[in-house]
Amino acid sequence: MKQIVTFFALAFFASLSAQHSLTLKRNVYRAADELVKQQVEFKDPGSKGKNLTWDFRLLQPINEEYKLDYFIPDSTNMNRLCGKEHYTRYYYLQRNDSLWATGFENSTTMMEYLKPELKLRFPFMYGDTLYSSFDGKGQYCHRFELAVKGYTRVEADAMGELLLPNFESVKKALRTHTLRYYTQTGKDSIEMILDTYAWYADGVRYPVFESVKTNLIKKVSKQDEQPKDTTVFTTSFYYPPELQTTQVQTDPLPTETNENLSGAAAVFTEATMLPNPVVDNLNINFKLIRSAKVWFTVHTNGGIPICQTSPQNHSEGYNNTTVNMRSLMTGTYTLYVHVDNMVLQRVVIKK
């Protein structure tokens, strides 16, 4: 009997390990990633379940260069990330294993979520579901007050094969369905639903396909009337997996021999970081072309900050500092160098 129980337990855990799941290391948004995806005509997401097939081989392009850039808007807060697309900045907060949406802004509208929206919690696999409510206040054209309330439901609701253009396919695609229901949009009689479906390929950071639909729901005043549900916007996005493997990699930092240095690398020069691999303390020697405020933060490969030095005002010339890495686990880390409001990065190995 024990052998039978053990067999089924092993089979169960083996099936779990074989499932495609979204992880903090592989799927969290990452600063310095620059995406160019294709906006295409809306594709119906179809039903939920396992062993499905989605045929998206024929796509009608709308905008073949839809850009999305991720960056850190404030180098004093490395947990805060910004994604810029279509003239709008969307702000996120990475805290432990969770990704939160904290607001957005563009030329006409500013919105700050007093109660952030939970976007994802890692790991996230088929059958997982998240619920959260959000509450935000903002302004329109710097004159009119705005207020939104609602709730969000995120479910990994489907798995299967995704057929894409140019004979490309994703064998083990995982689909997430995010339903954002606005119970308050500033107009008492109007509610809104934003439906977003995203397909992920194993080992690829960002979705390879997305379908988005917005519905307006008008409340009725009479008891015998049904609420009116009107679709006001639909679109889809295609982001070929083979492009992601090249486009989302952080650009290599220019070397000190490059005559066209810019940003932090033009100020923070002749740096040595020893020993690397490091056991206890990482000793950093560097030369500043001008006086600047400098500090260092150490992050996991998933982007989570582990430790930080205090910001210090350094004078022009040669300087040094020490980063204590004694308590860190063995592995590879990213060291961010903050120079005033600029950032560059290095890789550090902990033994």
Tens digit of each residue's pLDDT, the chain (351 residues): 444 433 334 333 334 445 689 998 889 898 888 888 999 999 999 999 999 999 999 999 999 888 999 988 877 777 889 999 988 999 999 888 999 999 999 989 999 999 999 999 999 999 999 999 999 999 888 888 888 999 999 999 999 999 998 878 898 999 999 999 988 776 555 788 999 999 999 888 999 999 999 998 876 666 666 667 788 899 999 998 777 766 664 333 334 444 445 678 889 988 888 888 888 999 999 999 999 999 998 887 667 778 889 899 999 999 999 999 988 888 878 888 989 878 888 888 888
> Is 211 in the same domain as 284?
no
Same domain? For 74 and 175 the reply is: yes
The residue type at 19: Q
Q: Is residue 242 part of a domain?
A: yes
Asked whether residue 3 is assigned to any structural domain, the reply reads: no
Do 132 and 165 sit in the same domain of this protein?
yes
CB atoms closer than 10 angstroms to residue 265: 19
AA letter at 147: A
Task: Let me know whether 210 and 296 are in one domain.
Answer: no
For 342, the 3-state DSSP assignment is strand
Task: Give the model's pLDDT for residue 26.
Answer: 86
The pLDDT of residue 261 is 57
Please check whether residues 145 and 237 belong to one and the same domain.
Answer: yes
What per-residue confidence (pLDDT) applies to 248? 64
Which of 201, 216, 247 is a domain's end point? 247
What is the C-alpha to C-alpha distance for residues 23 and 298, in angstroms, rounded to an integer?
A: 20
Read off the pTM: 0.69
Rounded Cα distance between 333 and 96, Å, is 16
Torsion angle defined by CA atoms of residues 157, 159, 163 and 168, in that order, rounded to the nearest 10 degrees: 120
- Decide if 4 is inside a domain: no
Q: What is the radius of gyration, based on Cα positions, of the chain?
A: 24
Tokens of 7: 């067999």
**Does residue 11 form part of some domain?**
no
Structural domains counted in the chain:
2
Cα–Cα distance for residue pair 321/283, rounded to 1 Å: 6
Contacting residues for 6 by C-beta, under 8 A, at least 6 apart: none
253 inside domain: no
Q: Give the Cα separation of 156 and 50 in Å (integer).
A: 11
Whether residues 208 and 323 share a domain: the answer is no
Asked if 111 and 25 sit in the same domain, the reply is: yes
CATH of the domain at 316: 2.60.40.1930
Residues 342 and 204 occupy one common structural domain: no
Give residue 24's domain range: 19-247
53 and 136 both lie in a single domain: yes
The pLDDT score that the predictor gives to residue 85 is 92
Residues 70 and 116 in one domain: yes
Tokens of 267: 């100020």
Write down which residue in 208, 223, 247 finishes a domain.
Answer: 247
Q: Is residue 148 in some structural domain? A: yes
Q: Are residues 175 and 61 in the same domain?
A: yes
128: left (phi over 0), alpha (psi -120 to 50) or beta: beta
- 290 within domain boundaries: yes
* Same domain flag for 159 and 296: no
User: 61 preceded by cis ω (within 30°)?
Assistant: no
Residue 1 lies in a domain: no
